[in-house]
A and B are shown apart, each in its own frame.
Chain A
């Protein structure tokens, strides 16, 4: 550090790096001699060692124009919009769904009335796994973790009175994404909304299911074919739809470090682009509709650096690896959700604070949309009151904290830029390993990301038990006899009502049309036809999700993983 004539203290590195050495000798050493630092590992939640202080010396290789770039310019480290949030705030998109379509429809109307600016559908496990509510495996699961949607009739109810042409909807659905997307398109059409103008997102990211969340149906290769079918279909028919949300969220929740989340997610993105190209598409035709989804975990600066590194890596990958020339292909757009895994059942009100800090990191990292978790989500799905408080948390960050006034406020921070560089380098190292294995599908078949994540999860749990990492209310500052918070209890009624509706539907519909469209679907899947128009026909005939998914199970079989612990 040097004191300049006008009295402002400006850190700067001299050419021989002696400033740091001098400071360590003259200022730091006496301070340490007097008072030792706390006897804890100074590491991020991912186990990354953090230095005491960062200065220009740590950024010797950093070039502003090359590595950061101005906002809205390549490589978009500082954001994809030149005006940041001064133009438009991030979309406050709260993930919700439970019970029957009627119950969830009421929650959506309430969220929109409270100022939510987009919908995000949470489906229950039978829907996510492509099973009808009356299937044996659905027992006890209907409507529990999300809303149950068994056919077009349920989708009509879910969006009753909600104009799909005016809002954007995100649907967290993966293996049965084509079936649910087909239902959405038919409901939009019934409402008179044009597919060409329709906007929203389907998660449709099967690779992270094999890696982390494990909600897969078919083996990896036919699963990838369904995804490229959607890419091709949307290029022609639904050009403003985000065809995939390549997700690190679940990879992180399963135990990955920040660097692993970044690397595996972006490498999944590379895999989808490659498969799209191999299916005959031009990169710039479909790449602009690829979006991403990251976790906002608790280590504040590491998370901010992760988002910044993600934008830079994607810009380079798209331009340099795939030769994309459309700027929209270079720009990484992403949704963020605060870390569900960080929520504690103990002292649940603490979760409001955790979520607020995580949300702030996502905003400082330039997220395009955000979901904040509710305080009771370690215990159950959220109550309406808890969900509203979670939305209010975002509104306070947006309107009261002042952080939305300025673009990338941490750009140029020695610490944040150094972390961004380090995370970028680690991600490329993982890319190399996966490329050598023959790509992400091959790496998954080898169990590589699965093993890496299980290892990180176990290591983190050990560090918690050794109290190297303190979780407030759990392994530190715990209390006896806590007062319970109100929770949403989902009864078995939803399952009974959905099964009754389904039985009625099977009586009312034209079974010949169902059989005919399902046969056509099977023939198309066995051959090379695009499956989307065939699914839309089956949906119009009110074929159920279980029937459509079973038709493809008959053609492609089901995937079973070899578990690794």
Chain B
């Protein structure tokens, strides 16, 4: 069984990286291959990292309220680059009213504060489509 390859990214200007780092470590401890991009990554940088790392999953950590701008751009760039099979999940502060918009663009894994690390590990494991499996 090949390892699931994950990019954990912090887009936007926000520097609060506690959640991104904790979840990066939890996914790694669950046996996945995890790359943490560091702070202030543009959608372009994130998608290019996903290409380079042959990622199966992109996890976006957004707490600042900029998700309505960042998520559509990431999804658009993935499409342009033929990476439509990459699973995109979002963690952070997402108001209820914005969730349908994110789901409509194919982001169904939305994890709010208080989510158990195990819940995220289970979601990724159940929903990832590893390249090798197709």
Nearest B residue to A254 by beta-carbon distance?
A: B18
Which chain B residues (67-81) contact chain A, with CB distance < 8 Å? 67-70
Answer whether residue A561 sits at the interface, using C-beta atoms and an 8 A cutoff: yes
Is A116's beta carbon under 8 Å from chain B?
no
- Kindly provide the distance from the CB of A391 to the nearest chain B CB, expressed in whole angstroms: 23
Q: Does B101 contact A (CB under 8 A)?
A: no
B13: interface (CB < 8 Å): yes
Give Cα A475 to B13, complex, Å.
31
Which of A62-70, A133-141, A219-227 has 4 or more CB atoms under 8 Å from chain B?
Answer: A133-141
Residue contact B65 to A145, C-beta cutoff 8 Å: yes
- Could you say which residues of chain A place their CB within 8 Å of the CB of B114? 344-346, 378, 471, 474
Main secondary structure of the interface of B (DSSP, over half): loop
The minimal Cβ–Cβ distance linking A256 to chain B, given in whole angstroms, is 10
Whether, in the assembled complex, A454 has its beta carbon less than 8 Å from a beta carbon of chain B, the answer is yes
A144 in contact (CB, < 8 A): yes
- Interchain CA distance A375-B13 in the complex, whole Å: 25
Q: Determine the residue in chain B with the shortest Cβ distance to A495.
A: B69
B interface size (C-beta, 8 A): 37
A216 to B12 Cα, complex, angstroms: 14
Per-residue 0/1 for B81-108: is the Cβ within 8 Å of any A Cβ (1 yes, 0 no)?
Answer: 0000000000001011100000000000
Roughly how many angstroms separate A508 CA and B69 CA in the complex, as a whole number? 31
Q: Which residues of A contact B36 (CB under 8 A)?
A: 563, 565
- Determine the distance from Cα of A458 to Cα of B17 in the docked complex, in whole angstroms: 12
Output the residue of B34, B68, B112 with the most chain A CB within 10 A: B112
Interface of chain B residues 55 through 70 with chain A (CB within 8 A): 64-70
Question: CB distance A484 to B96 under 8 Å?
Answer: yes
Q: How many Å lie between the Cα of A125 and that of B26 in the bound state?
A: 28
In the bound complex, residues from chain A placing their C-beta under 8 Å from that of B95 are: 379-380, 487, 489
Can you list 8 A-B pairs with a CB-CB distance of less than 8 A? A214-B16, A345-B93, A345-B113, A346-B114, A378-B93, A454-B25, A471-B114, A563-B21
19 extra interface residue pairs, beta carbon distance < 8 Å, beyond A145-B14, A254-B16: A131-B13, A137-B40, A138-B13, A139-B69, A140-B69, A141-B13, A141-B14, A213-B16, A253-B18, A255-B18, A344-B113, A344-B114, A345-B113, A454-B21, A458-B26, A563-B21, A563-B38, A565-B28, A565-B34
Q: What is the interface of chain A, defined by CB distance below 8 A to chain B?
A: 125-126, 128-129, 131, 137-141, 144-145, 209, 213-216, 253-255, 341, 344-346, 378-380, 454, 457-458, 461, 464-465, 471, 474-475, 484, 487, 489-490, 492, 560-565
